[in-house]
Amino acid sequence: MSTVTEAQTKDPYFQTLFAERIGGANYGKSTEIYKFEKIKRAKRRALQSHPDRQLLDFGIGENDSMADESVRRVMQQEINQPENRGYADNGVKEYKDAAARFMKRRFGVSLDPDTQINHCIGSKPAYAMLPACFINPGDVTMMTVPGYPVAGTHTRYYGGEVFRLPLLAENDFLPDLDSVPDDIYRRTKMLVLNYPNSPTGRLATPEFFAKAIALAKEKEFIIVHDAAHILLTFDGPPTSFLQVPGAMDVGVEVHSMSKGYDMIGWRMGFVAGHERIVSAFADVKDNSDSGQFIATQKAAAAALDDDSIPERINAKYKRRMEKLVGVLTECGFDCQMPGGTYFLYTPAPTGTESGEKFDKAEDATRFLIEELGVVTVPWDDAGSYLRFSVTYVAETEADEDALMAETKKRLSEARFVTA
């Protein structure tokens, strides 16, 4: 039997040295359980109580396939080239050039690869670094809620504040920029947008982007557009923020190789747009990391040059999404095809006909996992919603259909109440 030693329970001498931004002397002592840990625990309980029941996992937010074979082949070759062995600093020309070709071909956006594009080690670190370029104590970053929180976390690390813009059904899941108080606009330095939006799956209209750009110029803030899911757009060709007139004057768009190219673990992306912002980002980045492995950059460049890869990935997730929307609709959920992303965002049920009551999405999630073996992610930030991801593991279309049939069986048996 293991015993807890005094050294393990006693605070280390440096406990009081932790920075306030991560909790100060209380760092490591919080008993709060975060959403994804709660899901993990509920999954464990579900498996313990129903060991023979397969978990139908719609909770995974990562692509289920490996990167395309052609990309892995380039990686295999490049890994053996001696010239790829060293520090990559702010990135190799091959990747910047491929990103410029991609932006021109897919969106008609012309960028100078030397000054208007810089790679990042996945897009997540770019959101950690961009606040370093702009945020002083007291400055504001406007962020949509729900949303990808990294830029907000780092804004706070720098002593800034986050102004939350709720994404509501009545506004088509676009932030209401007219509702922002003048005092906030006066202190705002960055607005972070993300379309196709995670988790709502909605798209922005060019009119909305035009309005945001006009406001950025009037109120003097920059716009960071998160395009992580841009190649998973289901209604016609995807739209880049940088296509909208004036966008290049006010901001940058951050692209990711993760979702559209099945390259989540490879950690590649790029920041593109206004030269001065790209240069500030590159300066901060240069002081933070030494660039992605050059072989990875060259493999990612090959991926960017092959539009058939994202087209195949898009077709797969679109097909899966259509099946899921059909099944959920038949089971009484209020949902429609999202404009993009592999996420379906649907109002959480409020209970079941047999008398279960759910006060929030988190309660519905727990019930779904423990009672039905169906995993989803709750969002209670702006209304109560469930996020179903179509990144579940299924080798063939027949496997997808079997999984959908089982989903339908379990959800319809539960007889959810939705209002």
- Residue among 251, 244, 204, 246 nearest 225 (CA): 251
Matching residue, tokens 């909305």: 208
Task: Classify residue 128 by burial, with Cβ atoms within 10 Å: 0-12, 13-18, 19+.
Answer: middle
Per-residue binder mask for ligand PLP (CB under 6 A), 55-94, x = binder: ------x---------------------------------
**Site track for ligand PLP across 212-251, x = CB under 6 A:** --------------x-x-----------------------
Q: Name the strands in the sheet holding 385-389, side by side, starting at the edge strand that comes first in the sequence.
A: 343-347, 385-389, 377-379
Radius of gyration of the chain (CA): 23
Q: Is 134 in the site for ligand PLP (CB under 6 A)?
A: no
d(CA 230, CA 50): 39
Cα–Cα distance for residue pair 118/282, rounded to 1 Å: 7
List of residues 6+ apart from 367 with CB closer than 8 A: 352, 356, 358, 414
Of the residues 113, 152, 269, 378, which one makes contact with ligand PLP according to CB under 6 A: 269
Q: Which of 258, 350, 365, 384 binds ligand PLP (CB under 6 A)?
A: 258
CB 323 within 8 A of CB 401: yes
Shortest distance in whole angstroms from residue 151 CB to ligand PLP:
10
Near ligand PLP by CB under 6 A: residue from 63, 144, 194, 407? 194
- Rule CB under 6 A: say whether 152 interacts with ligand PLP: no
Stretch that binds ligand PLP, among 69-77, 119-127, 215-223, 312-320 (CB under 6 A): 119-127
∠ CA 146-150-153, nearest 5°, is 100
Q: Would you say 263 or 335 has its CB closer to ligand PLP? A: 263
CB of 279 vs ligand PLP, minimal distance in Å: 21
CB nearer ligand PLP, residue 90 or residue 198: 198
Stretch that binds ligand PLP, among 99-107, 118-126, 329-337, 355-363 (CB under 6 A): 118-126
Binding site for ligand PLP (CB under 6 A): 61, 122-124, 148, 194, 198, 226, 228, 256, 258, 264, 269
